[in-house]
Chains A and B, each alone.
Chain A
Amino acid sequence: MTDTATATSATSARTSSTSAETNSSIVFDNVTKTYPGQSAKALDSLSIEVKSGELVCLVGPSGGGKTTALQLVNRLVDLSRGEIRIGDTNIMDLSPIELRRTIGYAIQQSGLFPHCTVAENIATVPSILKWDRKRIEERTKQLLELVGLTPVDAWLKRYPGQLSGGQQQRVGIARALAADPPVMLMDEPFGALDPITRMAVQDEFLEIHRAVGKTTLFVTHDIDEAIKMADRIAILKPGGLLAQYDTPAEVLANPADDFVAEFLGAERGLKRLALTTVAEVLGRSRARADDAESRRAPMSSPPEDRVDWPVVAGTMTLREALSLVSAAHSHGARVMDGDRHLGDVTLHELVCPPATAVDARGTAGVRS
């Protein structure tokens, strides 16, 4: 187990940095679940590994068993066959209650207790773990800050009914993180939010995830959410069969079968563009240009034919930049950082982004 973690650490620096202390991977080993009285399997021989610190999204249509898979991990549902391990521990070796207290759990519409204040909700697990009062108080405040509900004192005494959907969801995340569990399970946590709030909470959660590095299993029916959030995506199809388990880029580029392709939708190509930022493309094309010792990015005033090109930021995704280019009827976009001109990206580069320096040369580590 440790060997695998070190072996993979070369390719994913982010993962290895968090797994250094303890192994908190989640391993599904040939897991099958059949509900009593039902002939069809809810989950069929699922074998995946979620590495320490990784965020994996379980997606698929309803009936794909994604929520079942999640609830098997904290034993809200008991498995029929196979084995699930967290770190090196088989989940069946712990009592359900012991197990659950080491796993953060957040669900749709937050599942906050309406009769408890924000502070009481967040303190749910710490108080059953009998933390002393001072420690609970400090932890609560720290978490509210982490999820961006500041000034902290203004939120402690409110009730869930007095919060907006997005705020409730943030408290829900804080509550799941309260006892600092190494593993998080999230069941469509943002499913009930309006699109704008959902985007904001997704961004915040990604930031939190990067900061705290919990191994996270995240169920969603929204493929765009999965593409945005996940390090890797597990796509389940009806009958609980795993259709594909890979990075978002790989899933979009090479869907394993017709089901995955259909599930990703006709805009699959565009969705892929959302994985790359303008700055990355600029870097890659410049790297190539340097190699060829040819063109340089224009730094002074733009050539006449590029005056009308829309201005984009380096942090934008190719999909967003393409949208602006399309709206402006231009052949490319000018990349600006405030007043500073970083370079131009052409329509062709946006639609067919140059491969990474690594991919292009076929050798690793020459340039990053």
Chain B
Amino acid sequence: MDVVVGAFPFMVANLSLLLEKAGEHLLISLIPLLAAILIGVPVGVWLGHIHRGEFLAVSITNIGRALPSLALIAILIGMVGIGMLNAMIALFLLAFPPILSYAFQAVNSVDADLTRAARGMGLGSFQVLMKVELPLGLPMIISGIRTAAVLTVSSATIATIAGSGGLGDVILNQVAYGMEGVVAAALWVAVLAILIDQFFVLLLTLASPAGVKHLRRASVAV
């Protein structure tokens, strides 16, 4: 308990260090996250739209779950060497599966009656996607991004063994910073993860068309 209490004076005394490390931490987690979103969402949405590639989406997710991030980084050290690039590749591989599979499921699981009604009325394939599938799938797509974001930010801690910097530098260096430093940095990682998660909740609310907001309210009420 003393150590936890002691973590706060450490934060005050080493604010600039923590800020610098937190900045690195955000950098090495957000870049791979963004890359995973930019590739995973369109691919997942497209596969869901054409109702193909369920096997691919599920397999990638399972591999992603089974793959220990530590092992991944160790392997990558052998392949790309030590440094930020190593960490980012590892974190990308970690973030990609949930984003892809959630995006796929989000669109693939939209009620077939609705898409049939839309096509039957004369909406083109792209119009069905934009008017029906994306609005209805949006909450689930964002859920996938949230899962990936929390995973990436927390796993970035381990990336320090590849020499990429970040708050992991403090956490894994008890000798230099003491137990108080370890706890302080760990708390920062937790807060960062929560903030990022909440950022995407906010984004969902801002990006949702009125009807999607209505649906979310309705599902909360039930």
- Write the residues of chain A forming the contact surface with B, with a CB cutoff of 8 angstroms: 71, 74, 76, 97-101, 103, 105, 107-109, 111-117, 120, 124-125, 128, 159, 161, 175-176, 185
Residues of chain A with a CB closer than 8 A to B121's CB: 100-101, 105, 124-125, 175-176
**B window 120-153: CB within 8 A of A:** 120-124, 127, 131-132, 135-136
Q: Which stretch, B13-21, B95-103, B158-166, B209-217, touches the partner chain A?
A: B209-217
Cβ contacts B179-190/A at 8 Å (1 or 0 each)? 000000000000
Contact in complex: A161, B113 (CB < 8 Å): no
* Distance between Cα atoms of A23 and B116 in the complex (Å): 27
- Contact of A115 with B116 at beta-carbon distance under 8 Å, contacts A100-B121, A125-B122 already known: no
Residues of chain A with a CB closer than 8 A to B212's CB: 115
Contact in complex: B211, A124 (CB < 8 Å): no
Residues of chain B with a CB closer than 8 A to A101's CB: 121-122
Residues of chain A with a CB closer than 8 A to B122's CB: 97-101, 103, 125, 128
Contact in complex: B123, A74 (CB < 8 Å): no
Residues of chain A with a CB closer than 8 A to B51's CB: none
30 contacts between A and B (CB under 8 A): A74-B120, A76-B119, A97-B122, A97-B123, A98-B122, A100-B119, A100-B121, A101-B121, A101-B122, A103-B122, A107-B116, A109-B113, A113-B114, A113-B131, A113-B132, A113-B211, A114-B114, A114-B136, A115-B209, A115-B211, A115-B212, A120-B211, A124-B131, A125-B122, A128-B122, A128-B127, A159-B211, A159-B218, A161-B218, A185-B120
**What residue in chain A is nearest B219 (Cβ atoms)?**
A161
Interface residue tally of chain B, by bracket?
A: 20 to 34
**B window 44-71: CB within 8 A of A:** none
Residues of chain A with a CB closer than 8 A to B123's CB: 97, 124, 128
**Chain B binding site: helix, strand, loop or mixed by DSSP?**
helix
B117 at the interface (CB under 8 A from A): yes
Least CB distance from B222 to A in Å reads 10
* Distance between Cα atoms of A185 and B131 in the complex (Å): 22
Q: Which of A111, A116, A125 contacts B113 (CB 8 A)?
A: A111
Residues of chain A with a CB closer than 8 A to B113's CB: 107-109, 111
* Distance between Cα atoms of A101 and B122 in the complex (Å): 5
Q: Which of A76, A115, A117, A176 contacts B136 (CB 8 A)?
A: A115
